[in-house]
């Protein structure tokens, strides 16, 4: 592997990113040469795919030329609002056309996008806004029965600021993506009108000044191991990674892409919006995962591409009304998780006749993509692994002493390449703890590579528990339990045991109509896996608690 895969070490990370974050990564990217920045990608797509449908959001349908015009108008409004290159601009809203336009408008104006999780409460959103020192916020009105504006106002009502929210002194303006806004906030319509006096040439000049090595977004981690940390990713990294993703997935012009993955997550924003812009695919955003709505959308909009977590595809296959909907246009599914049942891959291929089913692995700190299966891989490889490292990057497995491990040996997954973040925003200590002096990103994930380089995720380091001296990996046990014909979904955590130290407890979701008991499942497990892996307790639940990114909330299960 040459320097292209390593992008140098991290001993000379002295350049300045917004807020003084150190960073030196060179953006040697073919995608950079073509588009330069995400704003450049938007303009290129508006020309190349001008008449092709770009976004379908309810009754609103716009083509790529119209999308380009809307994004430029939003960028002009950002300039009129005083947004300077490097300023952080946040979006707290569900998957909608307004999210697409406001976010792309902000990055076209040189801002750094800070997407906020739609499941956040007011205090959680305020933390990220305060931590990133966001200057401008685009916020939805009411979503899932909650007023985001009221929630944030309560959380940031008191403080030294003189702007719209005293508790957020750096936040100068709040724009509500609705027709009405409370006093001191602006509506989306009024905000856009504010940019009408900014000449188009000025907007274009600003967009063209954005370099590939400029930060494009700060993706805050979910905070499963403490306070959320913001991974800084550049325009060049985003473009290069999702050009690769689009190529490996086989996304093509004319595809119709149902984006259920939330836009605040890399899977929804970059493998969704940015990938579609690259290929001229039609985006059909869906704000909330609901299997009935998915079925209706796939049939009505002739959806051909449907990425998402395994639970999405499992619920689609098991829906009693599935055969009443025409799903024949579906041709590409990309999913990602430590556990993807082999039966799920086989059913997608045999029952829905989906030509391409792929799995992938990524994390925010690596631009959302590390490994990916390839078209033509056998079903077993797709189900049991997350594929091979994307081109020009490296994946290494190391033991607790940092020594590289051979194929088949479990250890921590390390990543090095152009996809590795610049660092955590204004947090050099955590950055140094995560990216070592040789440029390796320590993911905290556990896994191994097979003889062909396919990566299999076995767990998070912190999720592992020890049963009588044996390391037990919940994801491995979950994969085995998932083979039981009556199990639809399952999660395993370690619980205290007076004799063995810890043992496994399974939280399981039965398939419809199943009468499976805890004793039945434990007895089955004793026949199918080593004794130390067998769950000592089983609790059946209606559904597993998940965050908006689809990850099971193990902390919540442990506290039950």
Closest CA to 393 of 375, 417, 419: 417
Element housing 256 (H / E)? strand 256-259
**Helix, strand, coil distribution of the chain in percent, nearest 5:** 35, 25, 40
Contact 537, 493 (CB under 8 A): no
Query: What is the pLDDT at residue 119?
Result: 81
DSSP 235-247: HHHHHHHHHHHHH
Could you tell me which residues come within 8 angstroms of residue 345 by beta carbon, excluding any fewer than 6 positions away?
Answer: 357, 379, 382, 383
CA-based max dimension of the chain: 74
Residue 53: band (very low, low, confident or very high) from pLDDT cuts 50, 70, 90: very high
Please give the average per-residue pLDDT across 412-421, as a whole number: 97
- Answer yes or no: pTM beyond 0.85: no
Q: What is the pLDDT of residue 285?
A: 98
Q: What is the mean pLDDT of residues 198-205?
A: 97
440: Cα separation from own chain's centroid: 21
Res 288 pLDDT > 80: yes
pLDDT digit string, tens, across residues 501-543: 789 999 999 999 999 999 999 999 998 887 888 999 999 999 9
Domains of the chain: 37-210 (3.40.50.980), 235-461 (3.40.50.12780), 464-558 (3.30.300.30)
Tell me the pLDDT tens digit for each residue of 75-131.
Answer: 999 999 999 999 999 999 999 999 999 999 999 999 999 999 888 888 889 999 999
Per-residue pLDDT, 19:
37
Burial of 371 (0-12, 13-18, 19+ CB in 10 A): buried
CA angle 108, 111, 113 (to 5 degrees): 100
- The helix-helix angle for 97-108 and 38-48 (nearest 10°) equals 120
Strands 88-92 and 112-115: parallel
pLDDT of 242 > 80? The answer is yes
pLDDT over 90 (residue 54): yes
| Percent of the chain residues topping a pLDDT of 70 | 92
How much is the pLDDT for 491?
A: 94
148, containing H or E segment: helix 148-155
Backbone angles phi, psi at 144, to 5 degrees: 55, 40
- Residue 276 β-bridge partners: none
CA distance 366 to 421: 6
Counted residue by residue, the chain has a size of 560
Q: How far apart are CA 53 and CA 162, in angstroms?
A: 43
Across the range 163-192, mean pLDDT stands at: 94
Q: How many CB atoms lie within 10 A of CB 541?
A: 15
Q: Which range has the worst mean pLDDT, 236-250, 354-368, 486-500?
A: 486-500
Per-residue H/E/C for 31-69: HHHHHCCHHHHHHHHHHHCCCCEEEEECCEEEEHHHHHH
Radius of gyration for the chain, computed over Cα atoms and rounded to the nearest angstrom: 23
Quick one: pLDDT at residue 223?
A: 53
In sequence order, what are the residues at sequence separation of 6 or more whose Cβ sits closer than 8 angstroms to the Cβ of residue 94? 118, 140, 143, 262, 263, 287, 288
Which of the residue ranges 16-25, 57-66, 186-195, 394-403 would you say has the lowest mean pLDDT?
16-25
């Amino acid at each position: 592997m040459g320097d292209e895969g390593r992008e140098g070490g991290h001993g000379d990370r002295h350049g300045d990113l917004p807020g003084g974050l150190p960073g030196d990564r060179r953006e040697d990217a073919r995608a950079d040469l073509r588009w330069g920045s995400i704003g450049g990608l938007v303009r290129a797509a508006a020309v190349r795919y001008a008449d092709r449908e770009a976004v379908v959001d309810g009754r609103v349908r716009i083509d790529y030329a119209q999308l380009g015009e809307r994004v430029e108008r939003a960028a002009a409004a950002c300039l009129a609002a005083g947004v300077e290159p490097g300023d952080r601009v946040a979006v707290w809203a569900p998957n909608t056309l307004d999210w697409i336009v406001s976010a792309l408008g902000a990055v076209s104006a040189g801002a750094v996008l800070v997407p906020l999780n739609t499941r956040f409460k007011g205090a959680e959103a305020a933390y990220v806004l305060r931590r990133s020192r966001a200057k401008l916020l685009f916020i939805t009105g009411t979503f899932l029965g909650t007023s985001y504006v009221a929630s944030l106002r309560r959380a940031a009502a008191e403080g030294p600021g003189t702007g719209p929210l005293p508790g957020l002194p750096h936040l100068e303006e709040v724009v509500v993506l609705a027709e009405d806004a409370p006093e001191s906030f602006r509506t989306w319509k009024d905000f856009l009108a504010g940019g009408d006096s900014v000449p188009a040439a000025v907007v274009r000049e600003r967009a063209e000044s954005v370099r590939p090595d400029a930060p494009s977004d700060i993706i805050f981690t979910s905070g499963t191991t403490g306070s959320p940390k913001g991974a800084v990713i550049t325009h060049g990294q985003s473009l290069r990674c999702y050009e690769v993703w689009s190529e490996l997935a086989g996304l093509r012009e004319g595809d119709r892409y149902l984006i259920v993955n939330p836009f605040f997550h890399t899977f929804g924003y970059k493998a969704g919006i940015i990938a579609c812009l690259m290929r001229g695919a039609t985006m059909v955003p869906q704000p909330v995962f609901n299997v009935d709505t998915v079925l209706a959308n796939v049939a009505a909009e002739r959806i051909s591409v449907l990425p998402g977590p395994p639970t999405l595809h499992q619920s689609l296959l098991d829906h009693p009304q599935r055969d009443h909907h025409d799903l024949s246009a579906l041709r590409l599914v990309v999913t990602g998780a430590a556990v993807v049942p082999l039966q799920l891959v086989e059913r997608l291929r045999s029952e829905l006749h989906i030509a391409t089913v792929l799995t992938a692995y990524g994390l925010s700190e690596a631009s959302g993509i590390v490994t990916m299966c390839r078209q033509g891989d056998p079903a077993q490889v797709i189900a049991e692994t997350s594929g091979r490292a994307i081109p020009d990057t490296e994946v290494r497995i190391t033991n607790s002493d940092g020594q590289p491990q051979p194929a088949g040996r479990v250890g921590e997954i390390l990543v090095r390449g152009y996809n590795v973040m610049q660092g955590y925003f204004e947090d050099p200590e955590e950055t140094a703890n995560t990216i070592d002096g040789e440029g390796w990103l320590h993911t905290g994930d556990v896994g191994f590579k097979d003889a062909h380089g396919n990566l299999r995720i076995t767990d998070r380091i912190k999720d592992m528990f020890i049963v009588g001296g044996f390391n037990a990996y919940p994801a491995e046990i979950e994969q085995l339990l998932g083979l039981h014909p009556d199990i639809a979904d399952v999660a395993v955590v370690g619980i205290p045991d007076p004799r063995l130290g810890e043992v496994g407890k399974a939280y399981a979701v039965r398939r419809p109509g199943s009468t499976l008991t805890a004793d039945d499942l434990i007895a089955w497990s004793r026949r199918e896996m080593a004794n130390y892996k067998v769950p000592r307790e089983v609790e059946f639940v209606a559904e597993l608690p998940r965050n908006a990114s689809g990850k099971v909330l193990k902390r919540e299960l442990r506290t039950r």
